[in-house]
Amino acid sequence: MADYLRQMPHQGSADLARRPSAARRFHIDIPLLVLLLALTVYGLFVLYSGSGKDMGAVVRQGRYFLLGYFVMFAVAQVSLGRIMRWAPWLYLVGLAMLVAVMLFGVGAKGAQRWLSLGGFRFQPSEIMKLMLPLTVACYLADRALPPRFLPILACLGLIGVPAVLILQQPDLGTALLIAASGLFVLFMAGMGWQYILGAVVLAGASAWPAWMFVLKDYQKQRILTMLDPESDKLGAGWNIIQSKTAIGSGGWEGKGWTNGTQSYLDFLPESHTDFIIAVLSEEFGLRGVLVLMGLYVLILLRGFLIGIRAESSFGRMTAGSLTLTFFVYIFVNMGMVAGLLPVVGVPLPLVSAGGTSVVTLMAGFGILMAISTEKSTGPR
């Protein structure tokens, strides 16, 4: 009996009996969580300066982050099967809210984009940033891939309806970004290059009709201002000129935290929201911007890795689309502030002040965590 006991594979039995780690049991992707926490802290430091040393703004944003992390952890507990079942219904709820915005939405700065419920104001278009790619991925997951013409046409219908409703608010920038999130799903599904090239040709051919009959006067002015901001230095070109001045004056090392002049002397508009990276560049210099971009790149790489490792086509399409959409928000905001793109209302993800965008982004990262941990825990 003693000989038998000495020959038992103790180490192997321990390995077989080993339980998943706490992070796996609670569906937390540790590398992604660490990167998000680092970006959150960095963003709050920049926001304190961008808001004019307003500690109240930092505390308020901190509360949004706490809510966002709670939502992220809650969403991560939901299985991909449940997400697939719920996505089409939540998509319909989002469409209903977009229609409600048109009927009795709250307006601000010439746009009607918000709903107010019990004193809480939010943008339904933010919800569609998640629901649209999830619904398109859900539709394609049960069909042969790469998608053929008719499934692609159906997906374009799913993408076009919310995009048109958001365009009526009017919010061209958000409409294009939400449409892009759905198109990214088609791209991740392996849509043929003939369709992609056809779409590019069609977009080029529709540029002139869109300029003449779709774009409003202020939208045309933004494009013209991007091309020549010096033509109206004290008017439409003011934002771009001041943001470029702030970026250039920071140099490599920057002027120091809270020592920027463009924001504190009110030369830089929206210094705590859309143009906050200009504050970062002025005070922390190019090296501060590179740190921020490094965090973004690592988050993007982690998102793509989660998509590559996903077991299901739904997980791969969803992870790829959410990650590419996150990249587009970064690219559009930075391009806008640098004068390379027209000025649109796109905040810098997890750095600019804002509540609805933070919660929506964190919910998206919760879905990424659910995809990341689905394999090791099995069905839920």
| 323-373: pLDDT as tens digits | 999 999 999 989 888 888 888 778 889 988 877 889 999 999 999 999 998
Q: Which residues contact 286 (CB under 8 A, 6 or more apart)?
A: 250, 251, 252
79 touches 379 (CB < 8 A) = yes
Contact 306, 33 (CB under 8 A): no
pLDDT tens-digit map of 154-179? 999 999 999 999 888 777 888 888 99
Successive 10-residue mean pLDDT values, the chain, 380 residues: 48 53 79 95 88 84 93 93 92 91 73 71 83 94 88 93 87 86 91 85 84 79 79 74 80 77 69 82 89 96 94 92 93 87 84 85 94 64
* pTM summary value: 0.87
CB 330 within 8 A of CB 343: no
Query: Residue 348 and residue 344: Cα distance in Å, rounded?
Result: 12
pLDDT at 378: 45
> How much is the pLDDT for 110?
59
Q: Are strands 120-122 and 111-117 parallel, antiparallel or unpaired?
A: antiparallel
Extents of the domains making up the chain = 29-49+216-350, 78-213
As given in the structure block, the two tokens for residue 245 are: 């001045």
* Tokens 């969403």 sit on residue: 75
Report pLDDT for 316: 93
pLDDT reported for residue 108: 63
Which residues, listed in sequence order, are joined to residue 112 by a DSSP beta bridge?
Answer: 107
CA distance 142 to 167: 30
Rounded CA Rg of the chain = 23
